Amino acid sequence: MEKLEVVLRLKIRLFSLLIFGLFSCSKEKTVPISLSPEVVSKNFHTGNSLGQFYFFNQVRNDSLLVFNVYDHALNIIDTRVDSVVSSIQFEFNGPNAVNEISSFYYHNEDSIFLAENNQAIVLITSRGELKRRYSDFESSFETVEREKVYDNSPSLRFASQLLYNSEEHEIFLYFTSFNQPKKKRIFASYSLKTGKSKSIPIYYPEDYLGKKLDLSKLFLTSATLDGNGFAYIFSGSPRIFRYDFLSSSVSSVVANPPWEKVKADDIPFGPMNTSEKQLFMAENPFYYKIYYDHYRDVYYRLSSPPRPNFNEADFHYVNYNRILVSVLDSNLNLISDFYLPKENTYNVGFSFVTSEGLWISYNSKNQDDENFIKGDLIRIKELS
């Protein structure tokens, strides 16, 4: 009931402001409302220096689950009390062994999916008991379906995330093109029920087709499950895509940021030397993360503007730049966007949504206490 009231209040505000905008003679206003974010410090107590080993994370019911590569375990942090409350230990040897974990998805205490170095999916319980290992992805395709996706081996994660459709019990496989010229699909769904895979009509943006992409740093991706599908972005484009589970269709919108393009969102193709990469990262915007907030029925996109003539040694300059938060409604229409007040502060790669709002970690330069993971909580008054 509380969530419904929040959603209704937001929709009433948006409708009123949209009607006002239709009758307004101002052409300068590009978004329907101005949001009032509140940024407060919020740190999580770990009791040790293991925060640097939290490679992957997921939030469920205000519990932050992080994979601790050092302890080979899932640590569970209660974001309401800001400390580790329990952990799920995995084994290196024996019948329940899992190794080289590259991503995970926590469905419930009896169904935790772990990706093993892009080779297999392990289904394991919160007691560490291995229930099943899935590794027959290549042989799971009919010939016609396999030809619809790129020839490379499938990846079991998309932007370090394991995507799972709990209604259909499907794991999503991601296929990169590299320099294959044909237009082919980049996703397939693997059924845990039947052991069969089928391609999904999702493609790269037209600008990316037939190009060799630098997947290490310049070409990154992000996706977020939203209950009935998932939204996804590419780091070089302001376009936001969404795949709907029910209709098996893809929709997209362009959510342009409030800055002037420097290089027209150019995508670097082919080999680049160090100085060329440096120049590209400085002269182009970077669209880094997208999240769905089911508490407020909105999406957040985290991005960073171009800043020509800067010469950072770290290509991941987005972590040391100004961070723009774009807020979109359930149909991916842009509601508003705002800059976070702190610059050169955040590691947007470690961020998530709770019932309190959007949390973003500080970067390594600002993590000055090994007993805590430090960051900021962003609360938006108009969405509460």
Total Cβ atoms within 10 A of residue 43:
18
Domain assignment present for 205: no
- Report the phi/psi class of residue 60: left, alpha or beta, with left for phi > 0 and alpha for psi in -120 to 50: beta
Domain assignment present for 177: no
Whole-angstrom distance, CA of residue 263 vs CA of residue 384: 37
332 touches 231 (CB < 8 A): yes
Whole-angstrom distance, CA of residue 327 vs CA of residue 334: 6
321-344 residues labelled b (16+ CB within 10 A) or e (exposed): bbbbbbbbbeebebbbbbebeeee
Domain assignment present for 167: no
For 215-268, what is each residue's pLDDT tens digit?
555 566 889 999 899 999 988 788 999 999 999 999 999 998 888 765 545 566
Confidence band for 352, pLDDT divided at 50, 70 and 90 = very high
Q: Domain of 282?
A: 214-289+297-339
| Token pair belonging to 341 | 């007040």
Whole-angstrom distance, CA of residue 347 vs CA of residue 51: 13
DSSP state of 54: E
Domain count, the chain: 1
For 283-342, what is each residue's pLDDT tens digit?
778 888 999 999 999 999 999 888 777 766 655 556 668 899 999 999 999 999 999 999
Percent helix, strand and coil across the chain, each to the nearest 5: 15, 40, 45
Domain assignment present for 255: yes
Percent of the chain with pLDDT over 90: 45
Domain assignment present for 182: no
Domain assignment present for 274: yes
Count Cα atoms within 13 angstroms, Cβ side, for 239: 14
Domain assignment present for 115: no
Domain assignment present for 107: no
Q: Say if residue 25 is exposed, middle or buried (CB neighbours under 10 Å; 0-12, 13-18, 19+).
A: exposed
Whole-angstrom distance, CA of residue 323 vs CA of residue 181: 35
